[in-house]
Amino acid sequence: MSSSRQRLCSLLDRVGLIEGVLRARARFGSPYLTVLTYHRVFDAPEVYPFDRGVIDVGPEAFDAQLKTLGKYFNVVGIDEVCAHFSGEEALPKNAAVVSFDDGYLDNLEVAAPILNDNGMKGVFFMATSYIEERRIYWWDRINYLFHHAKPGQGKITLAYPAHLELDLEGDRAGALATILQLMKIQFDLDVERMLDGMADALGVPWNRDIEREMCEGFVMTWDDVRALRKMGMDVQSHTRSHRALQTVPHGELASELAGAKQDLERELGETVDSISYPIGRSLTSLGPIKEALRDAGYKVGFTNATGAHPLWGEPDCYDVRRIAIEPEYKGSFFRSVLAVPQLGY
């Protein structure tokens, strides 16, 4: 986000324009559905070996954001969204959704109580294989491996999925970014093979016992997921293994999509109707994936970092847009993005 855009939003807020737009939206409604995406509500310590990129906001800031949202918007759950897209019932005026991806434990311990305190329901999308198998999310695992790499290493070489040299001494941040991007775009990637090869190349001990122990206090268990639901929150699908759907071979889509839905329905004892896509890219031009979503029984699919969702015309129920909340979305900038979503993109 550019500093010039932040300055513009601050100016618009100081002169009252943002407040005026928000008041007008609250009074007259808006032709948009505003869906906010969070991952973690957490104050990370200074030394933190996992991915800081999924820490969107601390508890106090999250509470402040919800209070702003509640002042101008009608926060709804997944039932209302599905009813709208099926044509059964219109959304309330100026509707908004508060959503979380992945399944971090702080969603239950921190975010859900703050939502309840503000009288709001959240929608929590779970990547089920991490819960089931007690695994660390692949982006956190990559950050952990880089953080614990043997000191003094210069360049390392990975043999899979292709020959790749990474310069840890000269550009560690760039090397990390390269790996994270590769995980998002490489078709038919054997994730475990890739990550095991990284651990070997970086000289970091890793096995299933280490991973299971690390999961405690980090990734939700099924008991935690059920507790979240009992608190009144909605629990929905984020696939099984959190692979970008565009990179998944057609023959594996049923496991990722229908399989995750079945996992959740088995554990919760109720129907799961919606999914948020890992990495969050639009599926507008990808017919086979949409067909797999329909076959799995999903009614609504959410993208991410795509803005507010227009409600005019005939919107695609498998391409519902969301606004990705980031640490920079504070004060006037958060208010400005709620008022005019285009300011965030």
Which pLDDT score is estimated for 211? 97
Q: What is the CB neighbour count within 10 angstroms for residue 51?
A: 21
Under 8 Å between Cβ of 282 and 3: no
Which pLDDT score is estimated for 249? 96
Percent of the chain with pLDDT over 70: 99
Spatial separation of the C-alpha atoms in residues 58 and 42, rounded to whole Å = 5
Which pLDDT score is estimated for 5? 78
Radius of gyration in angstroms for the set of CA atoms belonging to the chain, rounded to a whole number: 20
Which pLDDT score is estimated for 11? 86
Percent of the chain with pLDDT over 90: 83
- Ranges in the chain, pLDDT < 70: 1-2, 344-345
Chain mean pLDDT for the chain: 94
Cα-flanking dihedrals φ and ψ of residue 226, to 5°?
-65, -35
pLDDT digits (tens, 9 = 90+) for 195-210: 999 999 999 999 999 9
Task: Give the CB-side neighbour count of residue 255, counting CA atoms within 13 A.
Answer: 9
Alpha helices in the chain (DSSP H): 3-14, 17-28, 59-72, 78-85, 105-106, 112-117, 128-133, 138-147, 168-185, 191-202, 208-215, 222-230, 253-268, 287-296, 331-339
pTM of the shown model? 0.96
Which pLDDT score is estimated for 170? 83
Contacts of 252 (CB under 8 A, 6+ apart): none
> For residue 332, is it left (φ>0), alpha (ψ between -120 and 50) or beta?
alpha
